[in-house]
Structures are given as C-alpha cells and as structure tokens.
Amino acid sequence: MPGPNPTTPPEVLEQQSRERQLRQAESLIRVRRFLSGNTLLQAVARERAEQLRRGHTVEHDDRHHVGQLAQAAACYALPMWARDGGVPYLWPWRASEWKPSVTSAWSGLAERRHELAKAGALLLAEWERLDRLAGLESTDGLGGRG
C-alpha cells in the first residue's frame, strides 16, 4: 500500500485518518452487535446443542472424515426449488435421514430459518472436526474441547 502523498496538506491527511478510524470503529460496532444479539448465531448454537443431545457427538462427527458434514449443510442451505422436491442429490447419507423443515414452496419463514440453523450447526460441527484433526483447541463453547 503506497504511503501518503508528500504534497497532501496535513489537515487532509488528518481528516483521512479520522475517517479511516471512524470506519474501523463502525465495523467493530457492527461485529459486536452481530455477535451479541444475532438470532442466527443463537439458533445455530441451539441446533448444535440439540444435535449433541441426539447423540451426534464429536466422536460421531469425527467418523465423517470426507466432508459429509459440510455436504449435508449445503443440502439444508439449498432453497426448496433447488431440491427437485425430494432428497438433494448431494445428501451424503440414507434418504431416511433427510429431515427437511421446508417441505413445500408454501412453508413459512420459521421453517426456512430452522433449516439454515441446521446448515450452520453442521458447518460448526465440520469446523470443530477440522480443528480436532489439526490438533487445535476449539474455542466456541458449543461442544468443542475448548
């Protein structure tokens, strides 16, 4: 990144610096709001806790070592029109294990959000699995070792 133009007046440089700091502060505020009150993150955490309660433990997740967790997450993230009305082609497990919340184009917002929470929880499980594979400590507090 090039340095400041030596011909730029100091007051302009100072104004640019203040604007840059303001953008950084606004970005930090948006991130904090997102993390503190985000219903998506709360829904993902609840769904991940439910998965763990149903027996989808870290040991269970570790057996899915060729990307099945991420693949299943992608299937739940697919909109209804992309599913061909049944089990998505990419679904990594038995058809009987496909449990969509959205079953028609007329399903509601709550059902669609639940599917996105399932997708997020599966991505979280895959993230944690990769951390364990790399010998890293998870810091999420949602079933990881951290």
Which two structure tokens, joined as six digits, stand for 17?
A: 């610096």
pLDDT at 75: 95
Most confident of 21-30, 46-55, 102-111, 120-129: 120-129
Identify the band that residue 42 occupies on the pLDDT scale cut at 50, 70 and 90. Answer: confident
Identify the band that residue 135 occupies on the pLDDT scale cut at 50, 70 and 90. Answer: confident
Which residue has better confidence, 33 or 133? 133
User: For all residues of the chain together, what is the average pLDDT?
Assistant: 82
User: What average pLDDT does range 3-31 have in this prediction?
Assistant: 75
Identify the band that residue 120 occupies on the pLDDT scale cut at 50, 70 and 90. Answer: very high
Query: DSSP E strands: which ranges in 75-142?
Result: none
Query: Which phi-psi region, left, alpha or beta, contains residue 141 (left: φ > 0; alpha: ψ -120 to 50)?
Result: left
Other C-beta atoms within 10 Å of 13: how many? 12
| Backbone dihedral angles phi then psi of residue 94, each to the nearest 5 degrees | -60, 145
Residues near 132 by beta carbon (within 8 Å), at least 6 away in sequence: 58, 62, 138, 144, 145
Other C-beta atoms within 10 Å of 76: how many? 24
pLDDT at 143: 45
User: What average pLDDT does range 88-108 have in this prediction?
Assistant: 85
Q: Amino acid identity, residue 38?
A: N
